[in-house]
């Protein structure tokens, strides 16, 4: 199940978070829009993996932690952690750890990690690898190489070419 939740996270945090939303997350409206997208991406797993239906309370809890982590990042981490790439990586580690802990609290270990627990587990891994290569890595490079985001408007065009 972890692989499906990771895929939902990557879609929400990278594919469905354009630059305007990244900037708007400094306010509550943008943050709530983003967390709503995170929750919707997890809820989208229910028709694909029926056993995910019972996990809706876990999905809500993950969304609340995502909200808290992103609020902390935009309020404090971007100023406290230098270079900004450190805050970017820490944010992703927190999100992945949240998925692991939340799913481990409500599911048996075999169901969290097994590739056989869901017929979609292996395709989810492939899709997650693609999203990391096509979206997360380029964004990470932009954060690392252009910490002031002077050239952030070029990111969308760069993603389309990759």
Reported as a single tens digit per residue, the pLDDT across 7-60 is 999 999 999 999 899 889 999 999 999 999 999 999 999 999 999 999 999 999
CA distance 128 to 108: 23
Q: Is the pLDDT of residue 156 over 70?
A: no
Residue 135: predicted pLDDT: 92
CA distance 11 to 13: 6
CA distance 160 to 71: 29
Looking at residues 142-155, what average pLDDT do you find?
75
The band of 142, judged by pLDDT with boundaries at 50, 70 and 90, is: confident
Tell me the per-residue pLDDT of 97-115, one tens digit each, with 9 for 90 and over: 999 999 999 999 999 999 9
Judge if the upstream peptide bond of residue 72 is cis by omega within 30 degrees of 0: no
Q: What is the mean pLDDT of the chain?
A: 91
**92 lies in which domain range?**
2-161
Q: Is the pLDDT of residue 1 over 70?
A: yes
Other CB atoms within 10 A of residue 99 CB: 24
Residue 88 tokens read as 């970017």
Task: Compute, in degrees rounded to 10, the torsion defined by CA atoms 149, 22, 133, 95.
Answer: 120
Whether pTM > 0.85 for this model: the answer is yes
Q: Is the pLDDT of residue 158 over 60?
A: no
Counting the structural domains of the chain, the total is 1
CA distance 118 to 122: 8
């Amino acid at each position: 199940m972890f692989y499906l939740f990771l895929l939902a996270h990557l879609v929400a945090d990278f594919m469905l978070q354009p630059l305007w939303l990244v900037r708007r997350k400094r306010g509550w409206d943008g943050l709530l829009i983003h967390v709503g997208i995170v929750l919707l991406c997890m809820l989208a797993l229910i028709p694909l993996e029926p056993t995910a239906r019972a996990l809706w309370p876990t999905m809500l809890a993950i969304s609340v932690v995502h909200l808290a982590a992103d609020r902390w990042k935009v309020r404090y981490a971007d100023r406290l952690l230098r270079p900004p790439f450190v805050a970017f990586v820490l944010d992703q580690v927190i999100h992945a750890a949240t998925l692991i802990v939340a799913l481990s609290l409500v599911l048996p270990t075999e169901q969290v990690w097994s590739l056989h627990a869901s017929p979609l587990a292996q395709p989810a891994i492939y899709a997650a690898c693609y999203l990391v290569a096509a979206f997360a890595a380029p964004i990470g490079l932009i954060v690392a190489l252009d910490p002031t985001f002077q050239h952030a408007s070029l990111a969308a065009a760069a993603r389309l070419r990759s």
